[in-house]
């Protein structure tokens, strides 16, 4: 039932916001609430039963100011419609000044309503004193003043609800903003005053009049108690829903964010602290989305392992010495190929080869440390240590060679070597790069050059085979002892056994 009522109110609020007469009807409705409260006070206090024979003259005089006030109120409401909501009629976004004025609208009109009620209260008290034998002016003034405050409170709550559909537009212009008069505390206090405090005070005022007959006082207590309970229940339910609904929306949004759904956004539907919280949830999701995009792009350039290491550590130059297996891949005859085919065609073929290198390396726990033109250096054992880094390096080498042969697009040479290297950051404070420096890297590059002439296109050094598992060593055979440029002595090398042998 409450949900149906809330939907109906939402539709009514949107109509009132867009209608030319909507603001005027809101002001009239709020004033009728006050008039109703004053009528009940007068009736419960027995004022009407004490009017003398000139009651018609009193009624006419009593109706003058309300009619005048209603006319003034409607005229001001039409003026306010043009002043505060002209941008809505023009079909454009409000300027920052217009947005700030609209947020202050409930407070401004509420204060103005109180000012308009003061002459009406004074006139009504004078009429009661003149045309009735009711002598307790203090009770009349207090009762009518409380009715006026009830009208002002209703005006504030209705107008606060009226501008809520425009809050997302305001937030887009001003960003997260909280007006002092639109905080949750103010809304709670005004709701409490309208639904409980003011009706309770009216009961106290009526019951405190010793001249009022006991039966009238009992009747007044029943009337205002029932009104207070009904209005209080409805106002509290609507207030609770206005807080609980966005809180649940934000809870569900945060739950989705924790699951990695960073494209979630919540509507900003309030200019209170809740609106700021809604905006903060959207900012959090957008920031995390930007960070995830940055990490993804960063990981694509340097590798996910290095990216995680860089993002989780400091900017200091760090590194250590460890034993790794280095795999080097280079395209055979790349200069001639690039001259024979269009650059785009050669790059497409090269990218397909490098995609194979990346997949084979990462699937075996390695890191593609860098691309150098048509060559790639892959490291097994740094920065993430592996219990056995030789076996996955050999598996990756065979997989790369097999997939390159299967495509038949390019010819490559693959060299694998093992040894002690420095693995860490090099560069300056403003520009760092993770790299691997050592004889194993140089040896792998030299083996790659020789592997381009080997039948199987793979050459590995002896330390790699000795560190691999027996099952992996079964796939390899001795090749030759080669003299590699820059490396003293001869290097014992191995190549893999062709399938079927």
Q: Is 178 contained in some domain? A: yes
Distance of CA 30 to the CA centre of its chain: 36
Is residue 208 located within the same domain as residue 66? yes
Q: What is the pLDDT of residue 302?
A: 45
Give buried/exposed letters for 329-362 (b at 16+ CB in 10 A, else e).
Answer: bbbbebeebbeeeeeeebeebbeebbebbbebbb
Are the CB atoms for 105 and 159 separated by under 8 Å?
A: yes
Three-class SS of residue 385?
coil
Q: What is the pLDDT of residue 51?
A: 58
Are the CB atoms for 107 and 181 separated by under 8 Å?
A: yes
Is the Cα dihedral 26, 29, 33, 34 positive or negative?
A: positive
The domain boundary, picked from 221, 238, 258, lies at 258
| Domain count of the fold of the chain | 2
Q: Between the CA of residue 376 and those of 182, 304, 450, 495, what are the distances in Å? A: 62, 16, 16, 20
Q: What is the pLDDT of residue 310?
A: 46
Q: Is 82 contained in some domain? A: yes
Q: Is 205 contained in some domain? A: yes
Looking from the CA of 403 toward its CB, the CA atoms found within 13 Å total 17
Q: How many helices (H) and strands (E) does the chain have?
A: 18, 8
Is residue 380 located within the same domain as residue 481? yes
**Structural domain of residue 358, as residue ranges?**
320-496
Is residue 350 located within the same domain as residue 253? no
Helices (H), 313-389: 334-340, 343-363
Residues 6+ apart with CB under 8 A from 342: none
Q: What is the pLDDT of residue 71?
A: 77
Q: What is the pLDDT of residue 426?
A: 75
Q: What is the DSSP string of 2-64?
A: HHHHHHHHHHHHHHHHHSTTHHHHHHHHHHHHHHHHHHHHHHHTTSGGGB-TTHHHHHHHHHH
Q: Is 266 contained in some domain? A: no
* Backbone φ, ψ for residue 317 (5° rounding): -75, 120
Is residue 246 located within the same domain as residue 343? no
The domain boundary, picked from 204, 224, 258, lies at 258
Is residue 340 located within the same domain as residue 229? no
Q: What is the distance between the alpha carbons of residues 335 and 174, in angstroms, rounded to a whole number?
A: 59
- Tens of pLDDT along the chain (501 residues) come to 445 444 544 555 555 566 656 667 777 777 777 667 667 666 666 655 555 555 565 566 566 666 777 777 777 777 877 787 777 777 788 888 888 888 888 888 888 888 877 887 787 777 767 666 666 667 777 777 877 787 788 888 877 777 777 777 777 777 666 556 567 777 788 888 887 787 777 777 777 777 666 776 777 777 777 777 877 787 777 777 777 888 888 888 888 888 888 888 887 766 677 777 877 888 888 777 776 665 555 444 444 554 454 445 544 445 688 899 999 999 988 778 877 788 888 888 888 998 999 999 989 989 888 888 788 999 998 888 889 999 999 999 999 999 999 988 889 999 999 999 988 777 666 666 778 888 899 999 999 999 999 999 999 999 999 999 999 999 999 998 998 888 888 999 999 988 755
Q: Is 18 contained in some domain? A: yes
Q: What is the distance between the alpha carbons of residues 275 and 264, in angstroms, rounded to a whole number?
A: 16
Q: What is the pLDDT of residue 357?
A: 92
Residues 6+ apart with CB under 8 A from 337: 331, 346, 410
Report the largest interatomic distance among the alpha carbons of the chain, rounded to a whole angstrom.
132
Q: What is the distance between the alpha carbons of residues 454 and 423, in angstroms, rounded to a whole number?
A: 30
Q: What is the pLDDT of residue 1?
A: 45
Q: Is 48 contained in some domain? A: yes
Q: What is the pLDDT of residue 409?
A: 86
Q: Is 275 contained in some domain? A: no
Is the Cα dihedral 173, 177, 178, 184 positive or negative?
A: positive
Task: Give pTM, 2 decimals.
Answer: 0.52
The CATH number of residue 402's host domain is: 3.30.70.1230
Is residue 243 located within the same domain as residue 384? no
Are the CB atoms for 182 and 215 separated by under 8 Å?
A: no
């Amino acid at each position: 039932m409450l949900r149906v009522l809330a939907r109906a109110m939402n539709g009514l609020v949107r109509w009132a916001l867009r209608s030319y007469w909507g603001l005027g009807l809101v002001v009239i409705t709020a004033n009728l609430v006050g008039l109703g409260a004053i009528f009940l006070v007068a009736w419960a206090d027995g004022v009407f039963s004490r009017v003398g024979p000139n009651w018609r003259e009193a009624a006419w005089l009593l109706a003058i100011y309300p009619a005048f006030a209603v006319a003034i109120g409607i005229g001001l409401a039409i003026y306010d419609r043009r002043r505060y909501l002209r941008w809505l009629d023009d079909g454009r976004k409000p300027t920052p000044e217009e947005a700030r004025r609209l947020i202050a609208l409930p407070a401004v009109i509420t204060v103005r309503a109180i000012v308009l009620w003061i002459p009406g209260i004074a006139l009504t008290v004078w009429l009661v004193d003149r045309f009735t034998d009711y002598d307790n002016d203090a009770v009349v003034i207090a009762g009518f003043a409380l009715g006026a405050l009830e009208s002002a409170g209703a005006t504030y709550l209705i107008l606060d609800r009226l501008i809520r559909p425009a809050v997302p537009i305001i937030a887009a212009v001003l960003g997260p903003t909280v007006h002092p008069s639109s905080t949750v505390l103010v809304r709670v206090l005004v709701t409490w005053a309208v639904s409980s405090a003011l009706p309770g005070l009216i009961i106290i005022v009526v019951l405190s009049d010793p001249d009022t007959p006991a039966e009238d006082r009992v009747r007044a207590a029943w009337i205002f108690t029932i009104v207070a309970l009904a209005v209080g229940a409805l106002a509290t339910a609507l207030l609770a829903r206005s807080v609980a609904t966005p809180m649940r929306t934000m809870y569900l949004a945060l739950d989705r964010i924790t699951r990695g759904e960073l494209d979630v956004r919540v509507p900003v539907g309030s200019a209170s602290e809740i609106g700021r919280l809604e905006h903060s949830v959207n900012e959090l999701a957008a920031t995390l989305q930007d960070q995830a995009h940055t990490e993804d792009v960063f990981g694509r350039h340097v590798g996910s392992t290095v990216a995680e290491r860089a993002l989780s550590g400091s900017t200091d130059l760090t590194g250590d010495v460890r034993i790794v297996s280095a795999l080097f891949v280079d395209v055979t005859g790349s200069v001639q190929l690039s001259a024979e085919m269009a650059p785009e065609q050669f790059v497409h073929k090269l990218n397909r080869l490098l995609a194979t290198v990346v997949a084979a390396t990462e699937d075996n726990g390695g890191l593609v440390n860098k691309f150098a033109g048509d060559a790639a250096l892959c490291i097994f054992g740094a920065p993430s240590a592996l219990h056995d880094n030789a076996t996955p390096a050999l598996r990756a080498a065979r997989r790369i060679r097999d997939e390159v042969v299967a495509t038949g697009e390019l010819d490559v040479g693959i060299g694998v070597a093992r040894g002690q290297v420095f693995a860490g950051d090099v560069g300056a404070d403003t520009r760092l790069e993770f790299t691997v420096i050592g004889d194993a890297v140089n040896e792998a590059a030299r083996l790659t050059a020789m592997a381009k002439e080997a039948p199987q296109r793979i050459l590995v050094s002896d330390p790699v085979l000795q560190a691999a598992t027996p099952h992996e060593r079964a796939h390899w055979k001795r090749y030759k002892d080669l003299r590699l440029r820059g490396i003293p002595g001869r290097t014992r090398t191995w190549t893999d056994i062709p399938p079927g042998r």
